[in-house]
Chain A
Amino acid sequence: MLMVSGVSKSFGGVKALRDASFAARPGEIHALAGENGAGKSTLIKVLCGVLRPDSGTVQTTGELATAFQELSLAPDLTVAENLFLHDPPRGRLGLVRRSVLAPRADELLRRFGVDYVDSRAVTADLSVAHRQIVELVRALATEPEILVLDEPTAALQESQVAWLAGHMRRLREQGCCVVFTSHRWREIEDLADRVTVFRNGSHVTTREKLGEAEAVTLMSGRSIDRTYPRLPPVPAGADRTLTVSGLRAGALREVSFDLHRGEVLGVGGLAGQGQADLFLALFGARRAAGGTIQLAGRPLRVRRPRDAIRAGIGIAYVPEDRKSEGLLLPMSVRDNLALGILDRLSSAGLVRRSAERAAVRSMVTQLGIVASRPMTQPVGTLSGGNQQKVLMGRWLLTDAEVLLLYDVTRGVDAATKHDFYQLIAQLAERGKAILLYSSETEEIAHLCHRVLVLREGRIAAELAGPVGDAEQIVAASMRERR
Chain B
Amino acid sequence: MSIDTQASTQAETGKRRLDSLTPNTKLILYAYAATAAVLLAGALLHPGFAGWASLRAMLIVASFIGFVAAGQMLVVLIGGIDLSIPWVLNSAAIVFTTAGLGQSGRLPYAIALALCVGAAVGLLNGLGVAWLGVPAVVMTLGLNGIMQGLSLGLSGGLTCSSCASYAPEPLRRLVQGDTQLLLWAAVAVFVTVLLSLTRFGRHVYAVGNSPRAAYLAGVPVRSVTVTLYTLSGVFAALAGITLVAYGGQASLGLGDPYLFESIAAVVVGGVSILGGRGHYIGVVAGSVTLVAIVTLLQAKQVPEYGRDIIYGLVILAILFTYGRDREHD
A interface residues, Cβ below 8 angstroms from B: 51-52, 283, 285, 304-306, 309, 315, 317, 324-332, 335, 338-340, 342-343, 345-346, 349-351, 353, 373, 376, 378, 394
**Is A328 in contact with B199, judged by CB distance below 8 angstroms?**
no
Q: Is residue B12 within 8 Å, beta carbon to beta carbon, of the partner chain?
A: no
B interface residues, Cβ below 8 angstroms from A: 20, 22-23, 193, 197-200, 202-203, 205-206, 209-210, 212-220, 276-277, 329
Give the nearest-CB partner of A307 in chain B: B218
A-B contact pairs, 26 of them (CB 8 A): A285-B215, A305-B215, A305-B216, A306-B218, A315-B216, A324-B213, A325-B212, A325-B213, A328-B205, A328-B206, A328-B209, A330-B209, A330-B276, A335-B205, A335-B206, A339-B217, A339-B218, A340-B218, A345-B199, A346-B198, A349-B200, A350-B193, A351-B199, A373-B20, A378-B22, A378-B23
Q: Which residues of A contact B203 (CB under 8 A)?
A: 342
- Cα A283 to Cα B215 in complex, Å, equals 11
Q: Which residues of B contact A324 (CB under 8 A)?
A: 213
Of B193, B202, B209, B218, the most chain A CB neighbours within 10 A belong to: B218
**Is A331 in contact with B209, judged by CB distance below 8 angstroms?**
yes
Q: Which residues of A contact B202 (CB under 8 A)?
A: 335, 338-339, 342, 351
Besides A317-B216, A328-B214, A338-B202, 8 other CB < 8 A contacts?
Answer: A285-B216, A305-B215, A330-B277, A335-B205, A339-B214, A349-B198, A350-B197, A351-B198
- Cα A52 to Cα B328 in complex, Å, equals 10
- Cα A325 to Cα B193 in complex, Å, equals 28
Inter-chain contact total with CB atoms closer than 8 Å: 77
A229 CB to closest chain B CB, in angstroms? 28
A394 CB to closest chain B CB, in angstroms? 7
Give the nearest-CB partner of B212 in chain A: A325
**Is A305 in contact with B277, judged by CB distance below 8 angstroms?**
no
Q: Which residues of A contact B198 (CB under 8 A)?
A: 346, 349-351
B79 CB to closest chain A CB, in angstroms? 13
A335 CB to closest chain B CB, in angstroms? 6
Known: A330-B277, A338-B202. A325 touches B216 (CB 8 A): yes
**Is A309 in contact with B218, judged by CB distance below 8 angstroms?**
yes
Q: Which residues of A contact B205 (CB under 8 A)?
A: 328, 331, 335
Q: Which among B22, B197, B217, B220 is the interface contact of A351 at CB below 8 angstroms?
A: B197
**Is B220 in contact with A306, judged by CB distance below 8 angstroms?**
yes
- Cα A283 to Cα B218 in complex, Å, equals 10
Q: Which residues of B contact A304 (CB under 8 A)?
A: 215
Q: Which residues of B contact A345 (CB under 8 A)?
A: 199
Q: Which residues of A contact B197 (CB under 8 A)?
A: 350-351, 353
Q: Which residues of A contact B209 (CB under 8 A)?
A: 328-331
A50 CB to closest chain B CB, in angstroms? 8
Q: Which residues of A contact B219 (CB under 8 A)?
A: 339
Known: A342-B202, A346-B199, A350-B198. A327 touches B213 (CB 8 A): yes
Q: Which residues of B contact A327 (CB under 8 A)?
A: 213
B18 CB to closest chain A CB, in angstroms? 14
B192 CB to closest chain A CB, in angstroms? 13
Q: Which residues of B contact A305 (CB under 8 A)?
A: 215-218
Of A327, A330, A351, A394, the most chain B CB neighbours within 10 A belong to: A330
Q: Which residues of A contact B329 (CB under 8 A)?
A: 51-52
Q: Which residues of B contact A325 (CB under 8 A)?
A: 210, 212-213, 216
B282 CB to closest chain A CB, in angstroms? 16
A345 CB to closest chain B CB, in angstroms? 8
Q: Which residues of B contact A378 (CB under 8 A)?
A: 22-23
Give the nearest-CB partner of B328 in chain A: A52
Give the nearest-CB partner of A373 in chain B: B20
Q: Which residues of B contact A306 (CB under 8 A)?
A: 218, 220
- Cα A346 to Cα B206 in complex, Å, equals 17
Known: A331-B209, A335-B206. A326 touches B217 (CB 8 A): yes
Give the nearest-CB partner of B197 in chain A: A350
Q: Closest 4 CB pairs between A and B?
A: A309-B218, A342-B199, A328-B209, A346-B199
Q: Which residues of A contact B217 (CB under 8 A)?
A: 305, 326, 339-340, 394
Give the nearest-CB partner of B24 in chain A: A330
B43 CB to closest chain A CB, in angstroms? 35
- Cα A283 to Cα B205 in complex, Å, equals 22
Q: Which residues of A contact B214 (CB under 8 A)?
A: 328, 339
- Cα A33 to Cα B23 in complex, Å, equals 40
- Cα A131 to Cα B277 in complex, Å, equals 38
